[in-house]
């Protein structure tokens, strides 16, 4: 049973919500739960802009400062230009973005609370996806700590019913479990603060332990968020927020298939109308990457083979039918705990890259094979020169771990999708990615973290 939170206004509300208010959840207690939230958005153009944050290291004492500096840069523009007639500085507004993704286990609840109190007034646009951590150096939450998190956050947002689905799942959990939690929030088209919590579904090998406080409990709550634009010229965008190992192809203690495939297999777990397509998978990660060498002896990194297999499965396998056109957005630490190599934060797209130039600030790995020759499709290495010499069906582009820019406290990889993959015409021609930039989070002369805007990804 779920203990009733104290000093809360949440439980004075009816337990059930109308589907038209953007809430749907399964009544099937035997299988996984399905939570689908629908938020009105102000999408006003086709290009979908993404920012991916890659901190230099897993240092929880610095995460809050990075988080605040990145978000502050989105609402505090460079000094506004002088008005030619009045010679007065015109007011500036927030930067446009559609999604920004931070790594796993990144900020504590107090950092999130401070942010939620300020984002509405600041006019922050777009979705923010971030991994949460409990206080101190431990990233897993006890069941009671998650209950307190729900209770506290419900008082800071405009639509606390967004948390009903998560709380209904939470009520079924034992008191002595430990969970990994992620969060998505935004300001919607009605200028209301919206927020979604989602549990990690698949534990990593680093979350298996004989110590209860280090052993993560796998969850069975599938979460989708549909952004419904008020301007009906533009289509809706459905987002699936996941945490690290959730993207992999294995099962968990509750699900008989991978979490992405589970959206199709357990579609009946969602009540009401479920989107036929997932457009974006936002993945907050903390994972080490294998280090290889080119024929010239230069080091490079590739996404772990389990992730590469997951990218390919999402694009190809029938079990992932709703994800065939999904873009996978990936945020990772450049150096994971115990100083292990990570990085490669970026995006996987199930389409040819289109661009031919290799930018020094980026690392690109393609799925395909040489244009001239035979053989099976495979993932490319830098020696293959796949951008110019391969026929590719998909690719993953991320920050180059060995670029000069990797010396920054954090890097922000910004890019636009001219069209989401599902919106691409097979008869037309659109680049896969455009306007690629790398912004740097660095210390100023006073020791504060500030953002240096990057013009391109050449650094």
- CA 271, CA 273: separation in Å to the nearest integer? 7
Q: Which residues have CB under 8 Å from 436's CB, separation 6+?
A: 359, 362, 413, 414, 415, 456, 457
| 432 has pLDDT over 50 | yes
| Helix 109-122 / helix 60-75 crossing angle, nearest 10 deg | 10
Whether residue 286 contacts residue 277, with contact meaning beta carbons closer than 8 Å, is answered with: no
Other C-beta atoms within 10 Å of 371: how many? Answer: 11
The predicted-structure confidence for 16-74, as pLDDT tens digits, reads as follows 333 333 444 444 445 789 999 999 999 989 999 999 999 999 999 999 999 999 999 98
337-348 mean pLDDT = 93
152-173 mean pLDDT = 95
Provide the residue ranges of all domains of the chain, joining segments of one domain with +.
39-74+94-357+401-452
102-106 mean pLDDT = 97
What tokens does 214 get? 């280090």
Mean model confidence pLDDT for the chain: 88
Other C-beta atoms within 10 Å of 167: how many? Answer: 21
141-142 vs 48-55, strand pairing mode = unpaired
pLDDT at 256: 87
Give the number of C-alpha atoms closer than 13 A to the C-alpha of residue 342, restricted to the C-beta side.
27
The predicted-structure confidence for 220-263, as pLDDT tens digits, reads as follows 999 999 999 999 899 999 999 999 999 997 788 888 899 999 99
| 7 has pLDDT over 80 | no
**E strands, 285-389, in order:** 291-293, 299-301, 327-331, 335-336, 340-341, 346-349, 362-370, 378-379
The predicted-structure confidence for 252-303, as pLDDT tens digits, reads as follows 888 889 999 999 999 999 988 899 999 999 999 999 999 999 999 999 999 9
pLDDT at 6: 39
Right CATH for 39-74+94-357+401-452 from 3.60.110.10, 2.160.10.10, 3.30.1600.10, 3.90.1010.10: 3.60.110.10
pLDDT at 320: 96
pLDDT at 331: 98
Residue 144 binned pLDDT confidence (cut-offs 50, 70, 90): very high
pLDDT at 79: 42
**Range from 125-129, 170-174, 229-233, 355-359 carrying the lowest mean pLDDT:** 355-359
Alpha helices (runs of H) in 50-108, residue ranges in sequence order: 60-75
What tokens does 190 get? 């009605």
**Range from 15-24, 56-65, 149-158, 402-411 carrying the lowest mean pLDDT:** 15-24
């Amino acid at each position: 049973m779920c203990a009733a939170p104290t000093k809360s206004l949440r439980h004075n509300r009816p337990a059930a919500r109308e589907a038209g208010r953007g809430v749907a959840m399964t009544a099937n207690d035997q299988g996984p739960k399905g939570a689908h939230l629908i938020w009105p958005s102000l999408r006003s153009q086709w290009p979908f802009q993404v920012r991916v944050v890659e901190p230099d290291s897993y240092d929880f004492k610095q995460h809050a400062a990075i988080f605040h500096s990145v978000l502050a840069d989105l609402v505090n523009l460079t000094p506004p230009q002088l008005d030619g007639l009045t010679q007065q500085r015109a007011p500036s507004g927030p930067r446009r973005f559609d999604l920004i993704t931070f790594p796993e286990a990144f900020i504590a609840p107090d950092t999130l609370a401070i942010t939620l109190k300020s984002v509405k007034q600041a006019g922050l646009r777009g979705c923010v996806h971030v991994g949460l951590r409990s206080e101190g150096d431990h990233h897993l939450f006890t069941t009671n700590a998650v209950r307190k998190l729900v209770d506290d956050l419900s008082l800071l947002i405009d639509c606390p019913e967004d948390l009903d689905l998560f709380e209904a799942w939470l009520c079924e959990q034992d008191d002595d479990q430990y969970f990994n939690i992620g969060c998505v929030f935004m300001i919607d088209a009605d200028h209301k603060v919206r927020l979604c919590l989602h549990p990690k579904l698949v534990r990593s090998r680093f979350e298996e332990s004989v110590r209860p406080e280090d052993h993560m409990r796998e969850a069975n709550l599938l979460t989708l968020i549909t952004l419904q634009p008020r301007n009906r010229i533009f289509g809706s965008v459905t987002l699936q927020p996941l945490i690290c190992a959730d993207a992999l192809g294995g099962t968990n203690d509750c699900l008989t298939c991978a979490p992405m495939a589970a959206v199709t297999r357990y579609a009946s777990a969602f009540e009401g109308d479920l989107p036929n397509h997932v457009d974006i998978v936002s993945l907050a990660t903390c994972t080490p990457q294998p280090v290889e060498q080119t024929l010239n002896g230069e080091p490079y990194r590739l996404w772990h083979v389990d992730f590469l297999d997951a990218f390919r499965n999402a694009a190809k396998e029938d079990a992932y039918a709703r994800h065939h056109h999904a873009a996978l957005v990936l945020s990772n630490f450049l150096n994971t705990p115990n100083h292990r190599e990570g990085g490669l934060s970026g995006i996987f797209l199930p389409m040819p890259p289109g661009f031919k130039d290799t930018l020094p600030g980026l690392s690109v790995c393609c799925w395909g094979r040489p244009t001239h020759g035979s053989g099976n499709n495979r993932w490319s290495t830098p020696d293959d020169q796949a951008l110019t010499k391969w026929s590719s069906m998909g690719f993953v582009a991320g920050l180059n771990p060995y670029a000069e820019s990797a010396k920054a406290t954090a890097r922000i990889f910004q890019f636009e999708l001219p069209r989401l993959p599902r919106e691409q015409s097979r008869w037309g021609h659109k680049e896969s990615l455009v306007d690629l930039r790398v912004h740097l989070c660095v210390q100023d002369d006073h020791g504060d973290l500030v953002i240096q805007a990057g013009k391109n990804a050449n650094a």
